Amino acid sequence: MKQVVALILLAAGVWLISDPAAFSWLAHPETKAAPADAHFVSDVPRIFAGGVVEGAQREVSLQFEIIGRIVAIPVVEGQSVSAGELLAQLDDRLLLEQRVAAQQQYQLAVAERDRLVNGEREETRDVTRAAAQLAAVRVQRAMADKERAERMFARKAMAQDEYDRFRFEYDIAVADFQRARTLVTEIEANARRDDLDIAEAKVRLAASSVEQAELMVEKCRLVAPSAGTVLRIDAEPGQIVDPEHMLSVVTMANTAALRIRAWVEELDAMTVGVGLAATVVPEGRSTDAYPGTITWVSPRMAPKSYLHHSPGEHLDVHVREVLIAVPDAHELIVGHPVEVFIDPSIQSTSTEATPPDLPAGSATPAADAVWNPLPSNDQASSAPNNRAATGQSPHAGAATRKAVR
């Protein structure tokens, strides 16, 4: 038995000496090999990164902005929706009544303003003018009575108190006439500027109340912000939702085109750049490989948050986020974890250099700021020989860089 163990150890030692790649595997047990149909032809070590499938844009978690009871969810998971299509509806009966009340208040404010601008009715104007004419006639009669009383009082034919009565009646008739004439002037005059300002302010205030009521009614409708697919529904009809305690009601994404979001660990962060070729392998389907191209790299590093659960995976590291366009990935599922193998020696022929969710023709600051570490074609072909001449191991570098030949 001891002789068998000794022979096994001897064979293992010979294998380690004859195959330098075995030392790399021992040093980096999390190393993953590219699939057989990846067709890598360069001897430059490949970069491995964990990633996930997502739509043309990030997943969007939608929720209501107000508290209410859900009365309808007319969509189901997996359903394709268009922009503006109803996803969920809250009970809006009370808000509809409030909107009607606000509209009535607005109409009342407008009517009061119009009445102030137009003035009194023509019939009211006629009545006021007639009252002024009647007051003028009474003044004339009182004046005649007063003059007759003065003559009689001068001849001692009228007592003092009788004369005073006629004089006071004349003064009263004059005062009534002045009041009637003032009423006519007031009715026929235009509205004062400050009164008009007050009326206009009331109209604007009522209009604002109507707009607020309409916005509250609109907040009872949860609609799709863009065309896409409903990925998840986290509520049911009859449930009361509170935006302060509920994360989402519906989650959707634009699945018209799929892309890969991957995270390259810090030791390989300076090696990746826009335009590099990549191969995407879905987890659980190691025989499937999808060619892709890096279209965007993040301008910053961030702590690692996505785990691909590989043996020996480093956790306390920083990563650089990249987006990979995969034209033929229609079979993939949003959220499916994938393994990404990036070849730093192969520049894709694709000219796309912006993330798929950015407008066409718009420059990406991150892409413009990416340093291109790739050597020229001559330097790339002689790179392995240069490392051999300097004694550098072809497997030195990041812990996540994979020496896949």
238 sits in the region (left: phi over 0; alpha: psi -120 to 50; else beta) called left
Residues 31/402, Cβ–Cβ less than 8 Å? yes
Tens-place pLDDT, residues 255-284: 888 899 999 998 899 999 999 999 999 988
The CATH number that domain 99-215 falls under is 1.20.120
Give me the phi and psi of 292, to 5 degrees please.
-150, 180
pLDDT reported for residue 243: 87
- In degrees, rounded to 5, the angle at the alpha carbon of residue 131 between the alpha carbons of residues 127 and 137 is 145
Q: What is the pLDDT of residue 28?
A: 45
Closest of 45, 26, 23, 29 to residue 314, by C-alpha: 29
User: How far apart (Å, rounded) are the C-alpha atoms in residues 246 and 240?
Assistant: 10
28-56+257-402 is classed CATH 2.30.110.10: no
Q: Euclidean distance between the first and final Cα of the chain, in Å?
A: 38
Level-2 CATH architecture, domain 60-91+220-252:
Beta Barrel (2.40)
Residues 51-92: tens digit of each pLDDT? 999 988 888 999 999 999 999 999 999 999 999 999 999 999
Residue of 368, 367, 371, 374 lying closest to 297 (CA atoms): 367
Residue 289 CA: distances (Å) to CA of 157, 278, 293, 310, 326? 134, 10, 13, 19, 11
What is the reported pLDDT for 315?
75
pTM comes to 0.59
Type and span of the H or E element at 279 = strand 276-282
Give residue limits of the domains in the chain. Answer: 28-56+257-402, 60-91+220-252, 99-215
Compute the distance between CA of residue 55 and CA of residue 116 in angstroms, rounded to an integer: 60
**Which residue, among 290, 288, 229, 232, has the nearest Cα to 259 in the 3D structure?**
290
Please list the ranges in the chain whose pLDDT falls under 70: 1-44, 308, 312, 348-405
